[in-house]
Structure 1
Amino acid sequence: MNNFNNHINPFEVNSGSNRFLNLNILASVLVLVLLITVVIVKTGVIGFIGFLGLIFAIALIYIVFKYPKTGIILLIILGFFVTGIARYIPAPWGLSIDGLLVLIYLALFFKGFANKIPWHKAKSPLTLVVSIWMGYILLQIANPEAQSIEAWFYAMRGVALYQWLSIPLLFVLFNKSKDLDTFFIVWGILSIIGTLKGFQQFHFGVDPFEQRWLDQGGAETHILFGKLRVFSFFSDAGQFGASQAHAGVVFGILALFKKGNLKLKSFFAFVAMAGFFGMLISGTRGAIAVPALGGIMFLILKKNIKILILGGVFLIGVYIFFAHTTIGQGNAEIRRMRTAFDPNEASLQVRLENQKKLKGYLASRPMGGGVGATGNWGQRFTPHTFLANTATDSWYVMVWSDTGIIGLTYYLLMLFFILGTGAYHVMYKLKDDWLKVQISALVCGMAGIMMASYGNGVFGQMPTGILMYVSMVFMFISPQLDQKLQKNTI
């Protein structure tokens, strides 16, 4: 009888346009329409766009506060588009990463009044080593060689802050096998979009906004011998090529070993092919280091002598193809990749010469010249200095120049500790076959990016940065995930 009394007659419920018969809803819609009209009349299209942006921001804050985990997904998405959007709407979009990270922390803070937040999950050796690194970067404020606090503020974000803020959040919010699956799907879709945008530039040319960016200085490094180095919506061609090669390695491994789900296997294979195609059209020689070292790392993780020998033969064959043949020399992309294997290549000699100069300069500066002393930030804030006018090219050379031999030594030890932990878990701890494949893919991808970062400053830039942080966390929590999977199969 209760069920009958609680039954709702669908013919007595307003739906569709009939909902507007409710005066409260009708009044709200009319007020909104009137407000939009006034905004357009008073401020024009720009004001209307700003109004929509305000509504979007309010909706974003609401979603993140209600479901903080969505903030992690948004962070990954934003990492891919944050640089490219500045070519269309000039603004300091990089600070939106900071804003989103702070917003997620605020959401967890207020949620903590109603529910206990499991901050203990962030207690990990990974959190410790990145916190020590962040502490050293904070000490750089007192570096007697540093000449600009503004340069420090902008540069330290990609070097340490984003990593330090992201990793505890990932431990707390993004820590399940289902989250790892979601990560691969979101990453794969964004990578495909990146390649499609790159193909548009490669085949049809750049749009007017991208042309303006090239005219304002981007052409110096992205138009070589009259040919475009494709950059998609990334910061530059180097970041695009390395990021797509990263996707090629990770998703190639996933595609090779995925069983029982043809749709997912096909998706992984498509992402891998799109990634390697993006790497090729980027014209970035350093990107080839990603599949090279990623492949070597994969052979090590397999612990199989036959596979190791076959893989070694394949890698030697690739080296011979690029370094000792002229096959495919008519193709501009292959021709440019081939120069990466030439020890006498002109740009390599310039890099080595710059490193000699830096070695002499930094010999008496063990803490470096100060975070932000080199590269774009150096040119912007301290253009008169030696470091600002000496190209670093490499991510590690930049870390060395900014933080000195002390900083570089710790930074490299930290990266190898993280990579070694992931590799150890794959080789000796994980029992679940699919989880082992997933973590293997992340370890190989990280190894490749670490190698590519010697040639270009890719490690701390978006989207590679956020992809690395997520990868690191899953490498460290993989034994716990494995234990849960093992319990579920008993």
Structure 2
Amino acid sequence: MHPFEKPSGSNRLANAYSLLFILLLTFVISMLLVKTGIIGFVGCIGLIITVGIVYAIFNNPKLGILLLIVLGFFVTGLARYVPLAWGLTIDGLLILIYVALFFKGFAHKIPWDKAKSPLTLVVSIWMGYILLEMGNPEAQSKEAWFYAMRGVALYQWLSIPLLFVLFNKEKDLNTFFIIWGILSVLGTLKGFQQFAFGVDPFEKRWLDQGGAETHILFGKLRVFSFYSDAGQFGASQGHAGVVFGILALFKKDNFKLKAFFIFVALAGFFGMLISGTRGAIAVPALGGIMLLILKKNLKVLILGAILGIGVYIFFAHTTIGQGNAEIRRMRTAFDPNEPSLMVRLENQKKLKGYLASRPFGGGVGATGNWGQRFTPHTFLANTATDSWYVMIWADTGQVGLTYYLLMLFFILGTGAYHVMYKLKDEWLKAQIAALTCGMAGIMMASYGNGVFGQMPTGILMYVGMVFMFISPKIDRWKQKTTIQLH
């Protein structure tokens, strides 16, 4: 049919079935508005958006990965404005992508073989261990296990195969950095609004309902932006500062992109500073040390060591900038006699005694918020862990913690090995170095706060891990393309 002969929108309306459908839809929306008011209208709009998202993901499952990254940034903050179980949307989205791939498999072969990787194996073993924890005789709540295991293992286990299959090209890596950078800057802008002008009414309600206990110290707000808490905000911003700082350092041929990386890095470090999170300083500290190791340059290593010592002396042995509340709070991270550190060490001493006869821990979800919610009468629920690794230790025991740490160091070591010995393309090497250094920093910061398994850090880690493992394949493709062009 000639394009000018195709039925126009007005001609389509002449179709009785189309007209009937539009009238029916109008009637349903009108009745919703009459019966439920604005809530029904918002629900109807939400349903239309949901249907649109499902349709788009079934057409192009990769869109689900992009939405997963975006959702990771906003999912916890949304609950302050609309009190729903937004965290479960991550579960739903991951399952939806798998369902979309299943149906797409009838028409096209899905390359599941791309997910065959040592990374998939080690995270599957970890997921298997967490499943076995359901049978832990010390565990007292299946509900606590369900909610806690998602961030500990499930999201990682579901995400990584999808990323290998759908999000595995150089273009995807570049897209990932752009999306991450934009969302990180938005996080800093929201944080600055809280820092300079105060919180909005919804955030004030969240503080009044218990958030103030950890987010208003000595009359000073610990900035949390739209993240779950100040600890996650500070570590995530420090993570962005390290990753984008390294990208800016090595980007040579595109001034606009280099300027973008510089801006994101500076915004990240600024967000980390205003968060008032002391443990976040571990991200640039260890990320910087990791970069010096990856560079394999003795002169650079010496200069970096001098810089690191200088930073340590500034915080630990001077009072410069003591009038600034943010610097003053960061400085307490270097005080070995700091009261909260003493409390943490005392709690760890108690846990050591309790777990000595429990090699598999007290059960996933026995500690922290889930412990308080489901088993508030237990010892573990009433002993603060404060650290991601201490939480893993208390929940899964010495056996679980040992495997978990071995898994993380294996992943980190693989990324470092590829940067130091395998990758030839300089820009790809810089990108993987940035991800490796960022992971090292987050691993260090997770000792002070439970940041590793929370969003958005979790999904950023999983994407980074996959690209660490597939980078040699991307590198070979780039080298082959370069040879063909010449």
TM-score by length of 2: 0.97
- Residue 161 of structure 1 deviates from its aligned partner by 0.5
Q: Give the corresponding residue for 1:286.
A: 279
* Cα distance in structure 1, aligned partners of 2:308 and 2:425: 29
1:273 aligns with 2:260: no
Distance 2:323 2:345 in 1: 29
1:107 counterpart = 2:65: no
Q: 1:68 to 1:21 in 2, by over 3 A?
A: closer
Q: What is residue 3 of structure 1 aligned with on the other side?
A: none
Equivalent residue for 1:210? 203
1:19–1:274 distance in 2 versus 1, CA, 3 Å: farther
Give the match for residue 465 of structure 1. 458
Which is further off, 342-351 or 259-268?
259-268
Query: In the alignment, what sits opposite 1:65?
Result: 58
Aligned partner of 2:385 among 372, 388, 392: 392
Question: Of the candidates 211, 214, 223, which is equivalent to residue 230 of structure 1?
Answer: 223
Q: Tell me the SS of whatever aligns to 1:83.
A: helix
2:476 matched to which residue of 1?
Answer: 483
Aligned-residue offset at 1:7: 5.8
Is 1:240 aligned to residue 238 of structure 2?
A: no
Residue 347 (structure 1) aligned with residue 340 (structure 2): yes
| 1:128 aligned residue (92, 109, 121) | 121
Give the match for residue 188 of structure 1: 181
Cα distance in 2, alignment partners of residues 21 and 206 from structure 1:
49
Q: How far apart are 1:45 and its partner, in Å?
A: 0.6
CA distance, structure 2, for counterparts of residue 18 and residue 101 of structure 1? 39
Quick one: which amino acid aligns to residue 216 of structure 1? Answer: Q
Task: After superposition, give the CA deviation of every residue in 1:149-174 in whole Å (9 maximum; x if it has no partner).
Answer: 11001000000000000000000000
Q: Which residue of 2 aligns with 1:166?
A: 159
State the match for 2:252 in structure 1: 259
CA distance in 2, matches of 1:32, 1:359: 62
What's the secondary structure of 1:356's corresponding residue? helix
Query: What corresponds to 2:376 in structure 1?
Result: 383
Aligned-pair CA distance for 1:30: 4.4
Match 2:412 to one of 415, 419, 427? 419
Task: Determine which of 128, 132, 149 is the counterpart of 1:156.
Answer: 149
Give the corresponding residue for 2:213: 220
Which residue of 1 is the match for residue 441 of structure 2? 448
Paired with 1:133 and 1:142, the residues of 2 have a C-alpha distance of 15
> How large is the Cα RMSD of the aligned pairs?
1.4
Task: Tell me how far apart the structure 2 counterparts of residues 39 and 370 of structure 1 sit (CA, whole Å).
Answer: 45
Paired residue type of 1:93: W
Classify 1:127/1:41 alpha carbon distance in 2 versus 1 (closer, same or farther; 3 Å): same
How far apart, CA to CA, are the structure 1 residues paired with 2:11 and 2:173?
Answer: 41
Alignment CA distance shift 1:143-1:13 (3 Å): closer
Q: Distance in 1 between matches of 2:3 and 2:453?
A: 56
Match of 1:303 in 2: 296
Cα offset, 1:29, TM superposition:
4.4
Which of residues 389, 395, 401 in structure 2 aligns to 1:408? 401
Instruction: Specify the alignment match of 1:374 in structure 2.
Output: 367
Structure 1 stretches of 5 or more lacking a match? 1-5
State the secondary structure of the residue aligned to 2:79: helix
Partner amino acid for 2:157? W
- Structure 2: which amino acid aligns with 1:482? D
Q: Please, which moves more after superposition, 291-300 or 22-31? A: 22-31
Partner of 2:67: 74
Equivalent residue number for residue 315 of structure 2: 322
Question: Aligned partners of 1:163 and 1:324: how far apart in 2?
Answer: 41
- Aligned equivalent of 1:312, options 305, 318, 332: 305
Distance apart, 1:32 and its partner CA: 3.5
- Shift in Å, 1:408: 0.3
* Total equivalences in the alignment: 482
Offset at residue 263 of structure 1 (A): 1.1
Q: What is the CA-CA distance between 1:18 and the residue it aligns to?
A: 5.5
Spell out, residue by residue over 1:374-400, the C-alpha distance to the aligned partner (whole angstroms, 9 max, x if none).
Answer: 000000000000000000000000000
The alpha carbon displacement at 1:419 in A equals 0.1
| Matches of 1:308 and 1:22, distance apart in 2 | 75
Whichever residue aligns with residue 474 of structure 1, its letter is: F
The aligned residue for residue 331 of structure 2 is 338
- Structure 1 residue 144 corresponds to structure 2 residue 133: no
Aligned to 1:32: 25
Q: Deviations over 1:215-273 (max 9, x none)?
A: 01000000000000000111100000000000000001011111211111111111111
1:33 alignment partner AA:
T
Q: Distance in 2 between matches of 1:141 and 1:256?
A: 47
- For 2:380 and 2:448, locate their aligned partners in 1 and report how far apart those are by CA, in whole Å: 18
Q: How many Å separate the matches in 2 of 1:8 and 1:400? A: 66
CA-CA distance at 1:91 after TM superposition = 1.1
SS in 2 for 1:283: coil
> Using the alignment, how far apart are the partners of 1:439 and 1:447 within structure 2?
12
> In the aligned structure 1, how far is the partner of 2:12 from the partner of 2:61?
33
Which one-letter code corresponds to 1:215 in the other structure?
D
1:117 aligns with 2:110: yes
Q: What is the letter of the counterpart of residue 431 of structure 2?
A: Q
How far did 1:19 drift? 6.2
Matched, 1:94 2:87: yes
Deviations 1:44-99 (A, max 9, x none): 11111111111111111101111000000010111111100001111111111000
> What SS does structure 1 have at the residue aligned with 2:204?
helix
Q: Distance in 2 between matches of 1:7 and 1:457?
A: 62
What amino acid is aligned across from residue 398 of structure 1 in structure 2?
M
Q: C-alpha distance in 2, partners of 1:246/1:262?
A: 23
Whole-angstrom distance in 1 between the partners of 2:131 and 2:441: 29
**2 CA distance for matches of 1:413 and 1:18?**
64
Q: TM-score, normalised by structure 1?
A: 0.96
Q: Give identity over the alignment, percent.
A: 81
Give the 3-state SS of the residue equivalent to 2:54 in structure 1: helix
